[in-house]
């Protein structure tokens, strides 16, 4: 898979090129900062899932992965503007370096490039990617509507991450399966895997925002609570009527409040119940692709969920 990820990286850099040198620089800024490229890897793995030997990955599967990753990158540009973030992946965010207007336009450029690539892969892929971008927006709007809401419900949280995170993982797997011309039941199974994994991924990411360090995250830890985004561990603490956390939340936090709130959450058992919820989603993901049998690609997809949990549990244990 490593050589295929090199193909993805080359295609990503090509897609970020514009006639204007400045736009090329801004659009490629986060790309140059690196990334695991999980979504393109899932797209390519889905195209060959169930095969006993890994043959060449098709150009269509590679470009499908590129289109999904461009959507992800474009959404990060927009997210950082909304969050007024200064750091992303250990480097200056685009908005911090060049300003909000240029960050928004560069994000739009990346989404346009993604749509252009998807259109080349056929009408079903083009329609799917467009619908996925819409779901990302819906999920983000749900989150914004609940900003600083200490009564945010677990149901609203799950609906939000369904759109803003799980939808793109689901589409990555679905696109890989579609361009490989797989049977419809296999397409649905791989889509369900991607969706369930994406739900687990976001729950884990929200736990890491509390338990990991700034260096491990590549951005300030505890930023969600500063921005009024109350995630699963916090929502469950508030629902339990935790005396320590409630009075701190409900409005923007200063530095002392951020540190105090983060420490309270780190020491609460809802970190562990949230990880248990992530594990349930990983188990659901594994069950979805079990009918496809084994093989290197299926094994790699299963290992992705296992590794996600193990890495997080190690960090939690060290708190």
Domain boundaries, the chain: 2-314
Question: Is pLDDT at 175 greater than 70 in this prediction?
Answer: yes
Rounded to the nearest 10 degrees, what angle do helices 38-48 and 2-15 cross at? 120
Per-residue exposure over 212-228, b if at least 16 CB sit within 10 Å of its own CB, e if not? beeeebebebbbbbbbb
The pLDDT of residue 90: 64
Q: Which of 111-125, 146-160, 204-218, 221-235 has the lowest mean pLDDT?
A: 204-218
The stretch 20-46 carries a mean pLDDT of: 88
Higher pLDDT, 255 or 79: 255
Question: Is pLDDT at 282 greater than 80 in this prediction?
Answer: yes
Which band of pLDDT confidence, cut at 50, 70 and 90, is reported for residue 66?
A: very high
pTM: 0.93
- Dump pLDDT digits (tens) for 89-101: 667 888 888 888 9
The stretch 19-47 carries a mean pLDDT of: 88
Higher pLDDT, 229 or 4: 229
Length of the chain measured in residues: 319
The stretch 219-231 carries a mean pLDDT of: 86
Q: Could you tell me which residues are beta bridge partners of residue 87? A: 92
The pLDDT of residue 2: 77
The pLDDT of residue 199: 98
Pairing mode, if any, of strands 87-88 and 91-92?
Answer: antiparallel
Identify which of 180-194, 234-248, 302-316 has the greatest average pLDDT.
180-194
Please provide the average confidence, as pLDDT, over all residues in the chain.
91
CA distance 139 to 143: 6
CATH architecture of 2-314: Orthogonal Bundle (1.10)
Give ∠ CA 242-245-247 in degrees, rounded to 5.
Answer: 105
- Dump pLDDT digits (tens) for 180-212: 999 999 999 999 999 999 999 999 999 999 988
Structure tokens at 239: 């629902």
Structure tokens at 37: 């490229």
């Amino acid at each position: 898979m490593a050589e295929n990820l090199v193909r993805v990286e080359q295609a990503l850099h090509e897609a970020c090129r514009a006639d204007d040198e400045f736009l090329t620089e801004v659009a490629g800024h986060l790309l140059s900062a690196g990334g695991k490229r999980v979504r393109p890897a899932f797209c390519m793995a889905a195209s060959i899932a169930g095969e006993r030997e890994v043959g060449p990955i098709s150009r269509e599967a590679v470009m499908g992965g590129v289109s999904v990753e461009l959507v992800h990158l474009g959404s990060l540009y927009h997210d950082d503007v909304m969050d007024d973030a200064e750091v992303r992946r250990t480097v200056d965010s685009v908005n911090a370096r060049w300003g909000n207007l240029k960050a928004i336009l560069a994000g739009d450029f990346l989404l346009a490039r993604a749509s252009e690539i998807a259109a080349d892969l056929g009408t079903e892929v083009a329609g799917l990617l467009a619908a996925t971008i819409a779901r990302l927006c819906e999920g983000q709007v749900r989150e914004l509507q609940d900003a600083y809401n200490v009564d945010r419900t677990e149901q609203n949280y799950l609906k939000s991450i369904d759109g803003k995170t799980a939808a793109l993982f689901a589409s990555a797997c679905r696109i890989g399966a579609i361009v490989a011309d797989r049977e419809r039941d296999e397409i649905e199974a791989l889509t369900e895997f991607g969706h369930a994994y994406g739900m687990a991924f976001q729950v884990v990411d929200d736990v890491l925002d509390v338990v990991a360090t700034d260096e491990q995250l590549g951005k300030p830890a505890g930023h969600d609570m500063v921005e009024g985004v109350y995630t699963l561990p916090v929502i469950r603490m508030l629902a339990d009527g935790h005396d320590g956390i409630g009075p701190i939340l409900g409005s923007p936090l200063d530095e002392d409040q951020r540190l105090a709130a983060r420490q309270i959450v780190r020491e609460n058992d809802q970190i562990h119940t949230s990880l248990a919820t992530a594990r349930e989603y990983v188990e659901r993901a594994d069950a979805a692709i079990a009918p496809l049998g084994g093989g290197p690609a299926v094994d790699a997809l299963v290992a992705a969920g296992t590794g996600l949990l193990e890495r997080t549990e190690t960090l939690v244990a060290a708190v």
